[in-house]
Structure 1
């Protein structure tokens, strides 16, 4: 299955799961295709996963609902994935997102950084920080882009500190490609994944704890979040997880970090 078909099938499953009705028109408008193409995509999905859909009777052709045996084969069901999938489609419900991107990035500088990520190159940047608000020059080896909180960051090896660091893209005030004169060391914190074992904050009473378990853990005792080791602090900050539950108290912190584990397929909530 190619990437385009997978994306179309994922959309079909998200709409079936969260709206309960898939139409030829909905698929056509979402992907900018003809009615015939839309019918072929739906037919291909139904042939591939025949147990997942059934026609809606008495309401014309091209309308399908999930069966009682519906089980998504492509999509990972989450309300966030659903909202992102339908964000730019014509649906008759209002949706708003309060997340704000405060990162103002010069497109010309970004193109240089993007190219360096693509070819594993080096870039000389002028970077401003709270310690050096006027900016300092340094050569970095860009690796990846990361959105954390309200900012976009560049993950890169810094030749000045000889460390892999995260650079706020909005604080890069100059960028120029340069020849790489030193090899890029391995970024173990980026390449390594860890499991964060999260639990309701121990200061919550029993009723509050049950509320958090039902709301965030689907009733389970806790939840495991897997992320790159380099991104742990961003995840904890975004989820408002207490690392020290004695000093970080509710209501600001309703979760706490029980432990960090090495990532493995056998890791559990134990």
Structure 2
């Protein structure tokens, strides 16, 4: 029996590019979202109901047993589902996060000479698919997870958003073990399964995550230690000298670290390396209480500042 990686090539070698694109879309919908409607194909490709039905039938002939039609006329992946298309985590995340068109090739080059930094850690595609499906369908998942503080543990979580800090991807979720909302690094999830019949309580849903729903209005200005602040004004298009950015409180620490923002109250984080920080958070109190605030460069809690 051919491996999953070879199924598409061996069974679909005679397909046209247009056919392969449609079939890969079906495969993606089933794998990462856990559902496919005939209307999804019609809207995505501008095809008629007859052509959409024929395309689904073609997919089922190439990947028999991968999905079944339920009472709501929605195709669902079966427990025996095996991807027909070889999905990469990088392409899947681009499709999920930005709505980019699913690419069929893995060696397509840029239109111009460009160099983009790679994320150092990409999730396993099978874990990403299950987590994405749970987010899309509003399901509880049971995971085996490894952390620095607790080692390997089994947890039940309710995921609702994927987040990237440009180094690795994590999922924002309610953790029933700790009874609070936390960030789980996708790469640290060893295994996962969807608990189909578990109901989600209101306090476990995204609407109850106060730090996710709290939007912080940041005011960033050129760092006071810079000799030529006018350069920074040009870099960030700051005609009035202030860059205003809205971020979720749950993510603010990650972003301050990623953007290299000096968050010290006296803009002193730049003493060791004066070239590292181009921007300073004008009001460090604005990020007080955010869960990831300890990651913010130079940040000092107001309580500690008073004590010193």
TM-score, normalising length: structure 1: 0.58
Structure 1 Cα separation of the partners of residues 243 and 123 of structure 2: 35
- 1:57 aligns with none
- 1:168 aligns with 185
Contact 2:233 2:239 in 1 (8 A): yes
Contact 1:149 1:234 in 2 (8 A): no
Structure 1 residue 110, shift from structure 2 partner: 2.1
Contact 2:221 2:279 in 1 (8 A): yes
Q: Paired residues, what number?
A: 175
3-state secondary structure, aligned to 1:128: strand
Contact 1:103 1:169 in 2 (8 A): no
1:107-143 deviation per Cα after TM superposition (whole angstroms, max 9, x unaligned):
222222112101211111111112234x111110001
Structure 2 Cα separation of the partners of residues 247 and 148 of structure 1: 21
Structure 1 Cα separation of the partners of residues 270 and 158 of structure 2: 36
Aligned mate of 1:152, from 169, 172, 175: 169
1:217-270 deviation per Cα after TM superposition (whole angstroms, max 9, x unaligned):
344311001122211112211110011122344222221111238xxxxxxxxx
Can you give the 5+ residue segments of structure 1 that lack an aligned partner in the other structure? Answer: 1-31, 33-83, 262-270
Contact 2:222 2:233 in 1 (8 A): yes
Structure 1 residue 102, shift from structure 2 partner: 2.4
- 1:101 aligns with 119
Structure 1 residue 171, shift from structure 2 partner: 0.6
Structure 1 Cα separation of the partners of residues 109 and 222 of structure 2: 36
Structure 2 Cα separation of the partners of residues 223 and 235 of structure 1: 14
Aligned mate of 1:193, from 215, 218, 224: 215
1:202-217 equivalent positions in 2, closer than 5 A: 202-205=224-227, 208-217=228-237
Q: 1:236 to 1:183 in 2, by over 3 A?
A: same
More strand by share: 1
Structure 2 Cα separation of the partners of residues 90 and 106 of structure 1: 25
1:1-270 equivalent positions in 2, closer than 5 A: 91=111, 93-98=112-117, 100-133=118-151, 135-178=152-195, 179-180=197-198, 183-185=201-203, 186-205=208-227, 208-244=228-264, 245-249=267-271, 250-259=274-283, 260=286
Structure 2 Cα separation of the partners of residues 221 and 230 of structure 1: 27
Q: 1:126 to 1:252 in 2, by over 3 A?
A: same
Structure 2 Cα separation of the partners of residues 214 and 115 of structure 1: 42
Contact 1:101 1:151 in 2 (8 A): yes
Structure 2 Cα separation of the partners of residues 166 and 156 of structure 1: 6
More helix by share: 2
Q: 1:255 to 1:144 in 2, by over 3 A?
A: same
Contact 1:127 1:137 in 2 (8 A): yes
Structure 1 Cα separation of the partners of residues 194 and 229 of structure 2: 52
Contact 2:143 2:157 in 1 (8 A): yes
Q: 1:108 to 1:94 in 2, by over 3 A?
A: closer
After superposing on structure 2, the runs of 4+ consecutive aligned residues of structure 1 that deviate more than 6 Å are none
Structure 1 residue 104, shift from structure 2 partner: 3.5
TM-score, normalising length: structure 2: 0.51
Structure 1 residue 144, shift from structure 2 partner: 0.6
Contact 2:122 2:168 in 1 (8 A): no
